[in-house]
A and B are shown apart, each in its own frame.
Chain A
Amino acid sequence: MSGEAERLRRLQAQVFDTFRDETAEGLARLETQLLALDADVDRAHVDELFRVVHTIKGGAGSFGLRAMAELAHAMEAHLDQLRKGASPTPAGVAALLEGADALRALLDAPGDVPRDTYAALCARLAEASAPNASGASGGSGPSATPARPRRVAVDLVPGLDFVASGIDLALLLEQLAELGPTTVDVDARAVPPLASLDLGALALRWRVTVETTTAPEAIELLFAWLGDTCAVHARAADDTRPADAPRAAQAGASSKAAQKAPARVDASVRVPIEKLDDLMNLVGELVIAGSALHEVERGDLNAPDRRARAREALARLDRLTRGMHESVLRMRSLPVGLVFNRFPRLVHDLATRLGKDVRLEVRGEGTELDKTVLERLGDPLVHLVRNSLDHGLETPDARREAGKSATGTLRLTAEQSANEVVITVEDDGRGLDPQRIFRRAVERGLVAADAALSEAEMQRLILAPGFSTAEQVSDISGRGVGMDVVASTIQALGGELSLHSVVGAGLTVTLRLPLTLAIIDGQLVRFGGRTWVLPLGAIAECARVEPGALDAVLGRGLVYAYGDESLPVLDPCAGLGLGGVPPGGRLVMVLEAQGERVALLVDEVLARQQIVVKSLEQHLRAVPGLSGATVLGDGAIAFILDVPGLRRACPVAHPRRVASARVGAPS
């Protein structure tokens, strides 16, 4: 592929990525709005739904995604009926929700989808759109009085990457023509002379005058997905104010300066301008601090305060560097709402299936978390919400019998507290039954029948792998897998999970998550001929193994005496696929994870240092015991060990694999 063709392909992929991101956001909004449609219908609400679907339709059409465009068109037609005053019906809302699911599926796999894949769904939407399909006034009521069309002038100004984007401008014009009769004028005044014409940039500008009932602002929103690829400015045709479009028009002209504008990066995070301003301020201060240091260097070498001034300038540089680091990390932050958005639909569907009446309250959606933390938080939260609906919240009858309101409440809250974000999943259901937990634990041989358990021990039981008190296994929850995985995931993210239950009143699950994962305090260790990183927070003790300090327990392998406890000694080499390299066993690290301790044999303990965490390649993510990787000062790669994962992955060391002098007599 030639360089030019490759550049075109990359640019097209970038524009499509923007479309995909914005469509995904639009679909999340659509789903939330559709669920609210159950109870509350107003014109603005339906207009918003219509705009979202229309934008998706426009984008899909421009990328030639016909199945997606046609499905969006069917949804749009149904929403148009609602705009004209028809009442939403359960069948219509269900079909729209199904349509949103289908659009999402098409977005994930846009290619190779036959146009008629969703023909049945489109037919159902059309049926639901028929004027007699709802209790609609069907256009006879006052709300159905059509607004009077007016002339709107729409300027389309292609940006620098428009040609490379592959977007067909004629399709944009056709979308405008769907709003009403149009006339098209093209302005060629900005087209450069033939000799200096840039064949990769469009300097033509289109003005489309459309007679429509759609407001200019709504028209701009319809094309918002184009971003800088093509500026779209709409205003009433009799508005004589100059269009805002020249900003992009200047970008569209082939001036050399404009062509040096920075290219968009591949993976994008939208950064609010104030965060960039913060960073710019810090960079400005950094320049000043650097100048101060140069001053010191250039000044009198024998000046008595030279050393103090140098120290002061260095301290300032340190502060600024840390500030810049934090500033950049903040740019990776995204609102928790991106994850919370999925729950209205989930709760609606599950509550309907379970015959429960549940009100979902969401608070603190704007609280921000690191992008990586957020991406991995979704599944644990889904599990907790499913658990609440399936086991926590009661049916309306059971709630009334218990003296509660028939409607249960599930509350999702996020808030920032110091350097962490606290997320709670709280329900006012039946809470955890300590007697049932204890009984199940005894049945499974996890505790003695006469044991007296503290709240912490009870919590540890609930989070134990495979533990469940559910009487029946359902496809919603209760298979006994999940809570331990939830706890492991949160711990792998550097967070903590805790439970607070009041019998008959409800359960609160609290997740404490670090604001960012990007840097951790790590301890470098060596075993198996490699350097590894242990999160410092997971290390309880590091000790030299004295002769005979490890006990060989028949049938259980080696144990290490830690206070009153006998901790299993893990063989990391065997667990991490380095089976041929036995651990030297000179040192033992006592590690804590999820309230349990294990001992790990290592050969050497190296430096403690701050570790910049890099995520693992896809094929390595499945390896238990690894949570990430880092590049060390010498350029070598070291894997970061995940303590809960190690506990699962590593077998207990066999006495034969450890130097015999360190192992005492079998007991």
Chain B
Amino acid sequence: MSSGEPSALALGGQLVAGRLGEVHTALLARLGAGGDVRVDAGGVEGIDASGFQLLVAFRQAVEGQGRRCTWVRVSEVCAHAARRLGLERLVFGPQTDDARGAP
């Protein structure tokens, strides 16, 4: 990570229906902070369609403000779930393969 890059927003644990409130709040806070956003999803242990929808909404919000949203890590669980739901490109964009597992 270069010193000019923003610190990554780390997501962890379960991003599943009924347990998204805290993540939603954190994403809103990060959105308000300005600048490009780097998301670290390496700690995600479980995620379902509503969890992905939250990430999609976040990404749309960031990019809607003319900022960039990139992923520094994606856990295997998260990547597998996205593949099963056909959401890889929508959530992570075309750089997913490069980002997966990257430190």
A residues less than 8 Å from B50 (CB atoms): 163, 199-200, 202
A residues less than 8 Å from B54 (CB atoms): 194, 197, 199
Provide the B52-69 mask, 1 if CB < 8 A to any CB of A, else 0.
111011101100000000
Q: Nearest Cβ distance between residue A187 and chain B, in whole angstroms?
A: 9
B residues 53-90 in Cβ contact with A at 8 Å:
53-54, 56-58, 60-61, 81, 84-87, 90
Most buried by B among A8, A192, A199, A208: A199
Interface membership of B102, Cβ < 8 A? no
Contact status B85-A173, CB under 8 Å: yes
Output the nearest chain B residue to A7 by Cβ-Cβ distance.
B18
A residues 355-369 in Cβ contact with B at 8 Å:
none
B residues less than 8 Å from A170 (CB atoms): 49, 81, 84-85
B residues less than 8 Å from A200 (CB atoms): 17, 50
A4-B18, A197-B24, A199-B24 in contact; A192/B57 too (CB < 8 A)?
yes
B17, B53, B86: which contacts A197 (Cβ < 8 A)? B53
Provide the A166-206 mask, 1 if CB < 8 A to any CB of B, else 0.
00111001100000000011101001111101011011101
Interface membership of A452, Cβ < 8 A? no
B residues 29-66 in Cβ contact with A at 8 Å:
31, 48-50, 52-54, 56-58, 60-61
A residues less than 8 Å from B24 (CB atoms): 194, 197, 199
Q: How large is the interface on A (under 10, 10 to 19, 20 to 34, 35 or more residues)?
A: 20 to 34
Q: Nearest Cβ distance between residue B81 and chain A, in whole angstroms?
A: 7
Contact status A199-B17, CB under 8 Å: yes
Interface membership of A5, Cβ < 8 A? yes
Question: In the bound complex, what is the Cα–Cα distance between A656 and B81 (angstroms)?
Answer: 80
A199-B50, A200-B17 in contact; A173/B56 too (CB < 8 A)?
no
B residues less than 8 Å from A184 (CB atoms): 85-86
Q: Nearest Cβ distance between residue B13 and chain A, in whole angstroms?
A: 15
A188-B56, A202-B49 in contact; A194/B27 too (CB < 8 A)?
yes
Most buried by A among B50, B52, B56: B50
B21, B53, B57, B81: which contacts A193 (Cβ < 8 A)? B57
Output the nearest chain A residue to B50 by Cβ-Cβ distance.
A163
B residues less than 8 Å from A191 (CB atoms): 53, 56-57, 60
A residues less than 8 Å from B53 (CB atoms): 188, 191, 197, 202-204
A185-B86, A186-B86, A206-B86 in contact; A197/B57 too (CB < 8 A)?
yes
B residues less than 8 Å from A185 (CB atoms): 86
Q: How large is the interface on B (under 10, 10 to 19, 20 to 34, 35 or more residues)?
A: 20 to 34
B residues less than 8 Å from A208 (CB atoms): 86
A188-B90, A191-B57, A197-B53 in contact; A173/B84 too (CB < 8 A)?
yes
Q: Nearest Cβ distance between residue A253 and chain B, in whole angstroms?
A: 12
Contact status A169-B49, CB under 8 Å: yes
Contact status A194-B61, CB under 8 Å: yes
A interface, by DSSP: helix, strand, loop or mixed?
mixed
B residues less than 8 Å from A163 (CB atoms): 17, 49-50
Output the nearest chain B residue to A4 by Cβ-Cβ distance.
B18
- In the complex, the number of residue pairs spanning A and B with C-beta atoms less than 8 Å apart equals 75
Q: Nearest Cβ distance between residue A283 and chain B, in whole angstroms?
A: 38
A residues less than 8 Å from B57 (CB atoms): 191-194, 197
Provide the B6-37 mask, 1 if CB < 8 A to any CB of A, else 0.
00000000000110110010011001000000
Question: In the bound complex, what is the Cα–Cα distance between A174 and B83 (angstroms)?
Answer: 11
Q: Nearest Cβ distance between residue B51 and chain A, in whole angstroms?
A: 9
Question: In the bound complex, what is the Cα–Cα distance between A185 and B89 (angstroms)?
Answer: 10
Question: In the bound complex, what is the Cα–Cα distance between A200 and B57 (angstroms)?
Answer: 14
Contact status B18-A5, CB under 8 Å: yes
Question: In the bound complex, what is the Cα–Cα distance between A263 and B80 (angstroms)?
Answer: 34
Contact status B17-A194, CB under 8 Å: no
Question: In the bound complex, what is the Cα–Cα distance between A158 and B52 (angstroms)?
Answer: 14
Output the nearest chain A residue to B18 by Cβ-Cβ distance.
A8
Question: In the bound complex, what is the Cα–Cα distance between A192 and B20 (angstroms)?
Answer: 16
Provide the A502-522 mask, 1 if CB < 8 A to any CB of B, else 0.
000000000000000000000
B residues less than 8 Å from A194 (CB atoms): 24, 27-28, 31, 54, 57-58, 60-61
B residues less than 8 Å from A192 (CB atoms): 57
B residues less than 8 Å from A202 (CB atoms): 49-50, 53
Question: In the bound complex, what is the Cα–Cα distance between A271 and B21 (angstroms)?
Answer: 38
Question: In the bound complex, what is the Cα–Cα distance between A170 and B47 (angstroms)?
Answer: 12
A residues less than 8 Å from B18 (CB atoms): 4-5, 8
A residues less than 8 Å from B84 (CB atoms): 170, 173-174
Contact status A168-B27, CB under 8 Å: no
Q: Nearest Cβ distance between residue B16 and chain A, in whole angstroms?
A: 10
Question: In the bound complex, what is the Cα–Cα distance between A169 and B53 (angstroms)?
Answer: 13
B residues less than 8 Å from A168 (CB atoms): 48
B residues less than 8 Å from A195 (CB atoms): 28, 61
Question: In the bound complex, what is the Cα–Cα distance between A173 and B48 (angstroms)?
Answer: 14
Contact status B85-A193, CB under 8 Å: no
Output the nearest chain B residue to A166 by Cβ-Cβ distance.
B17
A residues 600-632 in Cβ contact with B at 8 Å:
none
Q: Nearest Cβ distance between residue B96 and chain A, in whole angstroms?
A: 14
Question: In the bound complex, what is the Cα–Cα distance between A14 and B92 (angstroms)?
Answer: 35
Provide the A586-609 mask, 1 if CB < 8 A to any CB of B, else 0.
000000000000000000000000
Q: Nearest Cβ distance between residue B22 and chain A, in whole angstroms?
A: 11
A residues less than 8 Å from B28 (CB atoms): 194-195
Output the nearest chain B residue to A174 by Cβ-Cβ distance.
B84
Q: Nearest Cβ distance between residue B38 and chain A, in whole angstroms?
A: 17
Contact status B86-A173, CB under 8 Å: yes
Contact status A186-B85, CB under 8 Å: yes
Question: In the bound complex, what is the Cα–Cα distance between A169 and B16 (angstroms)?
Answer: 13
User: Could you list 29 examples of A-B contacts with CB < 8 Å?
Assistant: A8-B17, A163-B50, A168-B48, A169-B49, A169-B85, A170-B49, A170-B84, A184-B85, A184-B86, A185-B86, A186-B86, A186-B87, A188-B53, A188-B60, A188-B90, A191-B53, A191-B56, A192-B57, A193-B57, A193-B60, A193-B61, A194-B27, A194-B28, A194-B60, A199-B17, A199-B20, A204-B49, A204-B56, A206-B85
A→B interface (CB under 8 Å): 4-5, 8, 158, 163-164, 168-170, 173-174, 184-186, 188, 191-195, 197, 199-200, 202-204, 206, 208
Q: Which 7 A-B pairs have the closest CB atoms?
A: A184-B86, A170-B84, A194-B61, A194-B57, A199-B20, A163-B17, A197-B57
Q: With contacts A168-B48, A170-B85, A204-B53 known, what are 19 further pairs, Cβ within 8 A? A: A8-B17, A163-B49, A170-B81, A173-B86, A174-B84, A186-B85, A188-B53, A188-B60, A193-B57, A194-B24, A194-B27, A197-B54, A197-B57, A199-B17, A199-B50, A199-B54, A202-B50, A204-B49, A206-B86
